[in-house]
Structure 1
């Protein structure tokens, strides 16, 4: 990793020197530290060589298939009383289908057959399972099954076994630890010390300030080591440990906000796009950001929303006494994300956090931090920005406050929507979040895309993923199938996919699939992640301050094994200038229009 290490700014990046993640300035190595365990990138929760394949196959395979299909459907539609006897027979006829064992476990649990449910879940765990189409919103990974077994034991009052399986699930990187705390099955276990320690439950009112932060840092160290798929892939275990040791040592001399800023930097040093600390929702040490919304256009950092209208449209020249360019070089090293586009996307949050800027050495003092801007009038002004108690978790480009609102910014509050562009003979499809809408699921939305794109008036399809930071990747197959169908139709024209720094996570996976299977034309900026990346969102909550964070709990090899691309690059590189944004123009659609018009003339 090539890291900015100019001697002119060594003071400003002192925190990175202390952690020794500047591989261009110092040597970093993987050290044998107890909290970092050697573990595979893939969760090895079962042993594929331990089980012999059955030699007993159904005598009537076609009838077996029809019966198993019906039994699965009944189970998914909550008709276990009908499905249960059939499932019992099916797993005797053929023992090697993990999905049937899981269906049987679900129905046995509903019938309060505790031992039978656990036995069936263990068979499912040994064989492996797949999520059903109807449950794409909640996958059943091996760690999910382990937690389900734990909950059955807990509900049955078998606390020792419940804790054993809970530990196994956590070791296998179960990624919603906060969601377990109030699970009804664990209400009796919740009072035990071992359960509290496993899940980081703490009684804030009875804990001193020092003990509270010590508890948070200790918990963070231990849980990141287990939940993160590869915590020292970017910074060595030695330096991560030294960083936390130093933070513990300095608790008495630091303010709550300064401690929070350092925890933010620690999570950033884990080095993946899904490693994100949320410093604004805790009980102590909350970081109150500037009441400004920034965006990094190709021609600089600009204010796109502010507490004072005169500041909207202003270009930021200095942060404290440091140029924006040098400040960004420091921020992108501290919070690298998956690539520079991802770092650029999230940097606008850090530009607005004075305590983070103070820790990075960008400003001298958080409380008196200033920025110098050039207003649209040409006047340069140095301001002490007002603060506000909240900033968006995933920064996004907002609708312009003054002037024309272009199509691509007109419905950012909708998860997904379509509009026919008659002048382009195109269907415009914008997906802003891969989450089912209450009124229309993504599967239903995909069916609507099929209907609308099948119209003779639609020759091209434009998929806009510029504002799509992800969501639930299990929901994308129906959308992917429709896009491939359109692209394969010889009577249709082009499939354009608009991408950029905010195309991330589940949306990155979608464009990786399209790039591999279909033949789209990518337009815009490079994507904010890469085809193979540390991903997922393993959720944690610090026990005392109650700050939330996510870490990369799985490695997603979504592309071919040796795909080393750092992003998906656009076929048609188009950037957004501040001038185009504030004028309400969309350079990407303009480029698409030129291509379509050229194709029509040929």
Structure 2
């Protein structure tokens, strides 16, 4: 543990970024901010030292304050990311993106150990689908060793991978670690079907980056999403398999779910749906009471096969409330989980409050509740049916997990008839 802490204390010092060091006034302002951060951790987190010893936390804070004169602002922020990460729960984070920031214009996704470009801006469309090999000479495997000590939103190895896919694009983080320069484009190297391709890439605004998600649109199975008045949740009715498929991408309020429950029940009764799929893949959380409200709306419908016909879909980005609802739906809906393990820990610190540093205005979050959702100690909700999408299916727009579950339900629907 001491070696890990020592590594965290000096990682940013070992890779000096080419940025202006803090002047005396800035050092004083950051000293006040760091003291505020440390007080809030100790007084507002429900159990701040569940993983990291308080003495080790104090050592990291003291070292950061002592070294302020040798650091730039971005290096201070990276150090605060590392300290927050060392506390050891995915809802306790220093939010580097609460200040000005840019992103490299890519969305990445792992397929096995291969990290591929799944979306980018028009200027770089020729790089779609290629495997990222390195950034400024630092390999992806080496980056995957360096970055996890700083990544927010991490409960386990699955959310670590999901967070890495996203934060690898954050220019300020890579700059603070000395991997990229502040103003010069970074040299990215990719591998495609025809060999290696190198490109000098400049970061873009959050507004432009935020338009990216995935260029590979799901084309199979074909779905017709219906607006059910619950923002973030859509419904597709699949007649062939008699299935109601809910794409639970983000969280509405519980009130929005409850106010549209009667209309939803009427629609499901009219459709005669017998099987139920609730898809939490890619859902990083919200208010899990909204998920419970949805389950309360569905449970009175006797038309569903509550013994064998309910599925929940998960992946490494299924986090926080989405992970909680996955566990809860296994219990109260008798659902089977399909896909890959959740990024959230079923026994986890959650319900974070967000605080602003008094001088810099940067924000950080601290967990204020603990939820033990499982009697079995496990870092994730592991699927009953493990299905990992392949790159080839993803490239072709095939939803491997959903296709498999629907094929099983289509067979069951025919058998029932």
TM-score for the superposition, normalised by structure 2: 0.83
Q: Is the Cα–Cα contact under 8 Å of residues 15 and 360 in structure 1 kept in the other structure? A: no
- Identify if the C-alpha distance between structure 1 residues 554 and 294 changes in structure 2 by more than 3 Å, giving closer, same or farther: same
Q: Is the Cα–Cα contact under 8 Å of residues 8 and 82 in structure 2 kept in the other structure? A: no
**Whole-Å separation in 1 of the counterparts to 2:138 and 2:79:** 21
**Whole-Å separation in 1 of the counterparts to 2:332 and 2:140:** 40
Q: How does 1:217-366 map to 2 (within 5 A)?
A: 217-282=34-99, 286-307=100-121, 308-335=124-151, 337-357=154-174, 363=179
**Whole-Å separation in 2 of the counterparts to 1:418 and 1:490:** 18
TM-score for the superposition, normalised by structure 1: 0.59
- Aligned partner of residue 584 in structure 1, secondary structure: coil
Matched, 1:557 2:366: no
Q: Which has the higher strand share?
A: 2
Q: Deviations over 1:13-40 (max 9, x none)?
A: 9733759xxxxxxxxxxxxxxxxxxxxx
Q: Alignment RMSD, CA only?
A: 3.5
Shift, 1:590, TM fit: 1.1
Q: Give 1:386's aligned residue.
A: 202
- Aligned partner of residue 204 in structure 2, secondary structure: coil
- Aligned partner of residue 441 in structure 1, secondary structure: helix
Q: Which has the larger radius of gyration?
A: 1
Matched, 1:574 2:376: no
Q: Give 1:435's aligned residue.
A: 252
- Aligned partner of residue 28 in structure 2, secondary structure: helix
- Aligned partner of residue 280 in structure 1, secondary structure: helix
For residue 474 of structure 1, the aligned residue among 286, 289, 313 is 289
* Structure 1 gap ranges (5+): 20-206
Matched, 1:463 2:240: no
Q: Which has the higher contact order (CA 8 A, sep 6+)?
A: 2
Q: Give 2:16's aligned residue.
A: none
Give the aligned length: 397
Matched, 1:16 2:17: no
Q: Is the Cα–Cα contact under 8 Å of residues 480 and 510 in structure 1 kept in the other structure? A: no
* Structure 2 gap ranges (5+): 12-23
**Whole-Å separation in 2 of the counterparts to 1:415 and 1:340:** 26
Q: Is the Cα–Cα contact under 8 Å of residues 217 and 244 in structure 1 kept in the other structure? A: yes
Shift, 1:317, TM fit: 1.2
Q: Deviations over 1:258-292 (max 9, x none)?
A: 2222222222222211123221332xxx4433222
Shift, 1:350, TM fit: 2.4
Shift, 1:333, TM fit: 4.3
- Aligned partner of residue 569 in structure 1, secondary structure: coil
Q: Give 2:18's aligned residue.
A: none
- Identify if the C-alpha distance between structure 1 residues 225 and 380 changes in structure 2 by more than 3 Å, giving closer, same or farther: same
**Whole-Å separation in 1 of the counterparts to 2:270 and 2:226:** 24
Q: How does 1:38-437 map to 2 (within 5 A)?
A: 208-282=25-99, 286-307=100-121, 308-335=124-151, 337-357=154-174, 363=179, 369-375=186-192, 377-390=193-206, 398-400=213-215, 414-436=231-253
- Identify if the C-alpha distance between structure 1 residues 239 and 364 changes in structure 2 by more than 3 Å, giving closer, same or farther: farther
Shift, 1:535, TM fit: 0.7
